[in-house]
Amino acid sequence: MKLFRWLKSIKMPIAEEGNRPPDPAEEKVFYPSPEAEAKSKARLAGSPGGSSPPQYLRDKRRYKRYSTEGRNVLARMILSEEVDLANISLGGACILSAKSVTPGDNILIGIADENIDRPLKGKVVWEKESAADTADGRKRHQAGIQFQEVAPYTLIRLKDFMRIAGVPDTKKLSYQYQPSALRFKVYRNRKALMKYPATCPVKKIGLGGMLIETDDMYPVDHKYPMALHLPEEKAPIRFTGRITSHVQGGDERANRYNLGIEFLNLAESDRSRLREFITHL
């Protein structure tokens, strides 16, 4: 299934007729008190790597988690980031972001303009590290986005935006991709919201949640649209994922993080599929 269909259909699943979503009391997940979480962080600070979750989380977890190492179980989460528009045309845009994207990725670009009321589908065609760093010293990345399937009325509004927010830029691109006929250099501080997928390996899984490995650390309690891809199944399991914990990897994987994810809004039919998969672990 194409990414855009998945991006658009990853909204909250609707339970099938006769199969109500489980009552929250039945799906209770332990949330540590601020005092317990502070003690856990103190213990992790004195333990190099912090490779395992706090003991109180393991003791209070309602559902047992099973290892999925070597089973090719993947999770996808839809992330969003505010980016800067460097230049734009009817065919695409150049953006500056703190997050590196991969050529070939399908993304959505929401331009901060009241007349452009829906995000633009795009495909990353090139990416490189930018010479300009952020104020805190972090590297920025520059990427070329090619728009896909832009509706005619959106093109008209995009033309108006280009005339208001930019000036014509006749400089030729030095990349192997075919440049658009005319680009506008954005001279105002124009922002856009980029939505992009991130694929993460699943290390452990249970009926209540999972443990995934990521390149970045995400805040506890934040929620993201997610999908779980089980081996030999075409249709993913969709849900909202709430981050319950984040722990940095060991010394040899210091740039990796283990995230605990709680399943929210999981349809009963998908829960049955997940239960069937777990019985074979």
Averaged over successive runs of 10 residues, the pLDDT of the chain (281 residues) comes to: 49 42 42 50 44 52 86 93 91 90 91 89 91 65 93 91 83 52 77 91 96 91 95 92 86 77 96 94 87
Give the DSSP per-residue string, 147-161.
EES--HHHHHHHHHH
Both tokens of residue 274?
A: 């997940």
CA angle 34, 30, 248 (to 5 degrees): 65
Neighbours of 259 (CB within 10 A): 23
Both tokens of residue 107?
A: 């993304």
Strands 66-67 and 166-169: unpaired
The pLDDT of residue 241 is 96
The pLDDT of residue 190 is 85
Q: Indicate the SS3 state at residue 60.
A: helix
Query: CA–CA distance from 184 to each of 2, 6, 56 (Å)?
Result: 30, 31, 56
pTM of the model: 0.65
Name the burial class of residue 280, with classes exposed (0-12), middle (13-18) and buried (19+) by CB atoms within 10 angstroms of its CB.
exposed
Residue type at 215 in one-letter notation: D
What does the alpha-carbon distance between residue 51 and residue 62 come to, in Å, rounded to a whole number?
21
The pLDDT of residue 30 is 41
Query: CA–CA distance from 172 to each of 116, 183, 184, 210, 265 (Å)?
Result: 27, 9, 12, 48, 49
The pLDDT of residue 253 is 61
